[in-house]
Structure 1
Amino acid sequence: MAELLKMEVGRISRGEGVDSNSRQFSARIRAFQNKISEIRDIALYKWHVVILANLRNVNDEQLRRLLDNMEYEVFDYPRTYNELVFPLTTGTNFCPTEITIKISLGKKQQPQLNQDVETGLGTCNVRMLYVPTIEIARCTAKYRNALLRYNPRNYLSLARNEVNQSISDTIKNTTKNEFSLRNNGITILSEYSSVTDRTGVSGEGQLIIKDPQILNGGQTATTLAMMLEDQDIGLSAFEAKEVLLKIIERPKDKSEEELAEFIESISDATNKQSKIVEADRRSNDPRLIKLQSYFYKHHGLFLERKRGEFQYGLNEKVLLKSDILDRVSMTRALTAFAGDPARARSSQDRIFEEEGFDRLLTNLDDSSVALAFFALQAIDSGEIIKISDVPSHAIRYGKYAILYAVSLRNAGAIVEPKESPSQAALQVAEIMKKWTSFEADVKAKTSNSKYSNSTGFNFDNYYKGSTVVDDVKNYNWG
């Protein structure tokens, strides 16, 4: 409340030079007043005060008295982190409800193809036209990943990708419009779109797209935006170069599930420029989104659902790499925790296969997920290894078996979020105390004789084999 009393919103907005104690306002406040005075149609605006504070025991009447009866909005710490900080890290803090694109009509006999298309979900209006690459670059630079909500990847992380380089080279190294022929174009899903050639400017039309989302061509759009922001590349590089835009108006009155299926079918069919791995396909799974929210809310960590999702946060130094949870490492940990340590060592595509991934997210609660991840983190940190006598191969080949043992030892227990890291480290330490004994027991079993040879016991193959699950399950972990 004491800080709010210092705000002097009424005096500042009326242009007064001193506060209620007759002290001169600071240079920063005077500069703010100058900015306000430069707004020509200020009478059209409504004043709205945003308060970043954890306000307790302050009612509406008190706030309005302090704010000269202006409208206000309070962002406490949950709102600040969820609605301001998190979107900033992902480049989704500025969401477009509508975008406007200038189109060149100069050499076009027909500026667009527009027709209704019958689909499994009903009739969709589809519009196709060529638009200037500079317009796409400007829109993407402004709205960033907010245009790629349905896309399985963040293309900023693919800056050095071969396809990105090819897109960039075609723009920079050609003077004609070859780009429009060489590029596959951009597919946008929208609520509504409209084109007109009646703009009052000869040879110039206008395209309006409501609620746009890029389904295909995100790599093209992001590369163009990066080129626009590159000081070494001038605007002249974009001159007279166009890209094909396909706009699909979403089917009306459909459920979110039906719409998601429709979007996925289009995305799978059209995203061919760069390979989409299985992990990318799972990136928009609602349960994974819920897990991302859990780690952020309870642990202040950022689970990367999409490859390079937090690249903007890293580039702008809002985040450190240590704040980001790798989706592949987490899914391997969950696979082991759920009872399949051998599968956890398999390829990335295999652990993200739809059926197995669905089973993982269905059977594990938030507490188990957190324990699995922090247990893996404890193993990978190396701190516990320093104080235990386990051989190096146990970690190199057997860390997922260790995770499975942790899950058995902790079966049914609900761990409070704030205790997950320490509890996970404790459980791993307890398991490590018995690991040498466990491996001795394993080597003595006739069921594991196939892993023995003249050079010793092949632990690499054992921890990928068929007997490890039963061996871990049947051992007395205490």
Structure 2
Amino acid sequence: MKYETLVHILDAICQEAPEGSKRYKPDENDVEKMNQARARAFIHLYLKVKFGLSDFSDRERTITDASEDGGIDAYHIDSETKVVYLIQSKFRTNEKNFEDKEISLNELLAMEIDRIMRGEETGENGVPYNGKIKQLQRDISSIDDIARYNYKIVILANLESVPPNKIRQLCGGYSAEVFNYQKAYQALVLPVLTGTYFTANDIMIPVDLSSKNAGSKISYNVKTKNCDCEITVLFVPVIEIAKIMDKYRNAILKYNPRSYLDLEGKSVNSSIKSTLLERDTNEFALFNNGITMLSDETYINERIGQKNKAQLQVKNPQIINGGQTSFTLSRIYHADKVAAEKDLANKEVLLKVITLLGNDSQENKLQLIDEISNATNKQTPVINADRFSNESFHITIQQMVFENFGLLYERKRGEFSDGIRDGYLSESEVVERNHFWRLYYTANGRIARGFQKRLFQQNEFSGIDPNDKNSFKNLYMAIQVFGAIKGRYRRDQKIPREEYAKVYLYVRIHGEESALDAESIEANMRVVNTAFKLFFSWIESQEGNIAGRRTSVNRKTGEKRVTFSQERYFKGPTFEKDFTEWLTANRALLDSSAREVA
């Protein structure tokens, strides 16, 4: 499933190419050309995630993969970190090869890095390098302080059989980083789906001083029980916040209790948008509560050689309040950058930057961040479930279920909306957090708890071991089976509790042996439905005090009437015990039914 998600992302990246691009948009029936397009898109994915290159043409410019490329498939020059990245990529066209097959040592030895960096115009075979490699040479030669730069080789392929020191030797003595299949899934696929792929280190925000009588800012030092802080308050251009949010997306909302929330149906977001776009004046500065941003270091310079201008510098910024404001600004900017420059001109928003000072413990800082978030998120109420979403337990679960099963666990509301909007996945692939836990408990036999609706908000997961792969394997099966069951109901229909019980029966009866394609699930469900009927016939025939059974007396006639409700029975405590007992006694009968279905 993870590989299928990766391929879907690569196909979406190919669609970002200009119209008529046969390299990225070949005939779908031409398997070889499709594979070549995806292989090139895989490099695009790396450049987008690691360096925040959101524009297709910017990435395509630095992809050198072609004949006479000197073994270099792409490059990136990072002027901030002073590193030249040289990329060698080997994409595999099926899941097994992508996860098992390694890049050959000959392909690494084919990288003519020293020769290219020395400015040689031809390869060792005497044939001139292609135009993109010559462009790489020109780009490097134009760097004034190239002596301060380091070189790093990036290998987008599996290379488990070679130790790191040998990899360095194979790469001509240069530092090398290997992105094997596991790292590709965790560091490329999942981040691009959640919009958390490009971390902001330092941001610069220009400030207009022309209408500010008391200077550009107000600063105030605050001592708290957790750590010392400096608060800087100033008005900044909304267009700059829009650009920052569009570039860094959810990566700048790490400590915010919510991720992106779509505009449609969100009254606060719609109100923000209308205030900005329907007025030429700056009422937005009055109406909006502003943005609160965390920073490790904050500087403001009013002497930048421009009249009535200043510059704000923020290190490692994180927005903890005003995420909806920032999000809406980014959507306006992303939809039409030229129009946004005009529509958002001369409009400002209040920015409060909280700089965390000193060398206090990370735990103290996180506690203070949580308290600030709780106190400041008032414009749209933040429910407790949103606050729990950033706990390490949920982060661990999210990473584990994706790594092992390809599941997309939505711990933060709206965190996958970026991937959905970009066409990298569909909404149906995301598992909403309450639904996730209802099926977890159902699949593992705690049916009554699985019936509860707000499990995430209760945040009572102390008994769950994230390392218990079997319980999450049951969950994975339950999600696939429930998806097939749900398809038989209209979107507006409530799913009866008995369907959750059938999911549990499915997991108990079929277990690890079951294939999870649509045809297999349909066939196996026939066995489950048979078991469901037989089991309840047995339960109703039992004597004594059975959960779900009620006896009523007609007051006039004195006649006793016994009724049995499956709904009441599911609420009782004995379903799992009863079913296990029945299943043990009737396993041969069910196996016979399964063979008949097959």
| Band of TM-score, shorter chain | 0.7 to 0.9
Q: 1:291, 1:230 → 2: CA distance? A: 34
Alignment of 1:94 with 2:198, yes or no, is yes
Show the 5 A alignment for 1:197-276: 197-231=302-336, 233-250=339-356, 252-276=358-382
Kindly tell me: are residues 130 and 396 of structure 1, through their superposed partners in 2, closer, same or farther at Cα, counting changes over 3 Å? Answer: same
Name the aligned partner's letter for residue 10 of structure 1.
D
Q: 1:346, 1:116 → 2: CA distance? A: 47
Q: Which moved more, 1:210-219 or 1:157-166?
A: 157-166
* Paired position in structure 2 for 1:389: none
Give how far 1:44 is off: 3.9
* Paired position in structure 1 for 2:217: 112
Q: Give yes or no for contact 1:378–1:384 (8 Å, CA) kept in 2.
A: no
Task: Determine helix, strand or coil for the equivalent of 2:380.
Answer: coil
**Offset from partner CA, 1:100-150 (integer Å, 9 cap, x none):** 211111121223222223434244222211111111112111211111011
Kindly tell me: are residues 361 and 285 of structure 1, through their superposed partners in 2, closer, same or farther at Cα, counting changes over 3 Å? Answer: farther
Alignment of 1:46 with 2:125, yes or no, is no
Instruction: Choose the corresponding residue for 2:477, options 369, 374, 385.
Output: 374
Q: Which moved more, 1:326-335 or 1:437-446?
A: 437-446
* Paired position in structure 1 for 2:535: 438
* Paired position in structure 2 for 1:315: 421
Q: 1:235, 1:182 → 2: CA distance? A: 21
Give how far 1:365 is off: 2.9
Show the 5 A alignment for 1:10-409: 10-58=114-162, 63=167, 66-110=170-214, 111-158=216-263, 161-231=266-336, 233-250=339-356, 252-321=358-427, 323-337=429-443, 340-347=446-453, 350-355=454-459, 357-359=460-462, 361=464, 365-382=468-485, 396-403=496-503
Kindly tell me: are residues 271 and 451 of structure 1, through their superposed partners in 2, closer, same or farther at Cα, counting changes over 3 Å? Answer: farther
Q: 2:364, 2:541 → 1: CA distance? A: 55
Give how far 1:218 is off: 0.8
Give how far 1:430 is off: 6.8
Q: Give yes or no for contact 2:443–2:478 (8 Å, CA) kept in 1.
A: no
Q: 2:536, 2:387 → 1: CA distance? A: 38
Give how far 1:243 is off: 0.7
Task: Determine helix, strand or coil for the equivalent of 2:205.
Answer: strand
Task: Determine helix, strand or coil for the equivalent of 1:234.
Answer: helix
Q: Give yes or no for contact 2:227–2:360 (8 Å, CA) kept in 1.
A: no
Q: Give yes or no for contact 2:478–2:507 (8 Å, CA) kept in 1.
A: no
Q: Give yes or no for contact 2:227–2:356 (8 Å, CA) kept in 1.
A: no
Name the aligned partner's letter for residue 242 of structure 1.
E
Q: Count how many residue pairs are aligned between Structure 1 and Structure 2.
A: 458
Give how far 1:152 is off: 2.2
Kindly tell me: are residues 430 and 139 of structure 1, through their superposed partners in 2, closer, same or farther at Cα, counting changes over 3 Å? Answer: same
Q: 2:220, 2:272 → 1: CA distance? A: 29
Q: Which moved more, 1:100-109 or 1:399-408?
A: 399-408
**Offset from partner CA, 1:291-316 (integer Å, 9 cap, x none):** 11211222233322222222333333
Give how far 1:346 is off: 3.5
Q: 2:524, 2:468 → 1: CA distance? A: 18
Task: Determine helix, strand or coil for the equivalent of 2:230.
Answer: strand
Report the TM-score when normalising by structure 2. 0.67
**Offset from partner CA, 1:188-234 (integer Å, 9 cap, x none):** 12222222322222211222222211111111111111211222733
Q: Give yes or no for contact 1:116–1:124 (8 Å, CA) kept in 2.
A: yes
Report the TM-score when normalising by structure 1. 0.83
Q: 2:575, 2:111 → 1: CA distance? A: 67
Q: 1:371, 1:30 → 2: CA distance? A: 54
Name the aligned partner's letter for residue 203 of structure 1.
N
Q: Give yes or no for contact 1:335–1:360 (8 Å, CA) kept in 2.
A: no
Task: Determine helix, strand or coil for the equivalent of 2:415.
Answer: coil
Q: 2:487, 2:242 → 1: CA distance? A: 49
Task: Determine helix, strand or coil for the equivalent of 2:368.
Answer: helix
Q: Give yes or no for contact 1:295–1:302 (8 Å, CA) kept in 2.
A: yes
Name the aligned partner's letter for residue 346 of structure 1.
Q
Name the aligned partner's letter for residue 440 of structure 2.
L
Task: Determine helix, strand or coil for the equivalent of 2:370.
Answer: helix
Q: Give yes or no for contact 2:258–2:414 (8 Å, CA) kept in 1.
A: yes
Kindly tell me: are residues 87 and 376 of structure 1, through their superposed partners in 2, closer, same or farther at Cα, counting changes over 3 Å? Answer: closer
Name the aligned partner's letter for residue 369 of structure 1.
F
Q: 2:391, 2:195 → 1: CA distance? A: 20
Kindly tell me: are residues 343 and 72 of structure 1, through their superposed partners in 2, closer, same or farther at Cα, counting changes over 3 Å? Answer: closer
Larger relative contact order (Cα-Cα within 8 Å, sequence gap ≥ 6): 1
Q: Give yes or no for contact 1:89–1:310 (8 Å, CA) kept in 2.
A: yes
Kindly tell me: are residues 132 and 363 of structure 1, through their superposed partners in 2, closer, same or farther at Cα, counting changes over 3 Å? Answer: closer
Give how far 1:317 is off: 3.7
Q: Give yes or no for contact 1:129–1:244 (8 Å, CA) kept in 2.
A: yes
Q: Give yes or no for contact 1:372–1:403 (8 Å, CA) kept in 2.
A: no
Give how far 1:166 is off: 1.3
> What is the alpha-carbon root mean square deviation over aligned residues?
3.7
Task: Determine helix, strand or coil for the equivalent of 1:153.
Answer: coil
Kindly tell me: are residues 220 and 383 of structure 1, through their superposed partners in 2, closer, same or farther at Cα, counting changes over 3 Å? Answer: closer
Q: 1:200, 1:186 → 2: CA distance? A: 28
Identical positions, percent: 34
Name the aligned partner's letter for residue 474 of structure 2.
L
**Offset from partner CA, 1:138-185 (integer Å, 9 cap, x none):** 211121111101112221544552222211111111222211111111
Give how far 1:54 is off: 2.0
Name the aligned partner's letter for residue 224 of structure 1.
L
Kindly tell me: are residues 116 and 195 of structure 1, through their superposed partners in 2, closer, same or farther at Cα, counting changes over 3 Å? Answer: same
Mind listing any 5+ residue stretches in structure 2 that lack a counterpart? 1-104, 554-560, 585-598
Task: Determine helix, strand or coil for the equivalent of 2:293.
Answer: strand
Task: Determine helix, strand or coil for the equivalent of 2:439.
Answer: helix
Name the aligned partner's letter for residue 281 of structure 1.
R
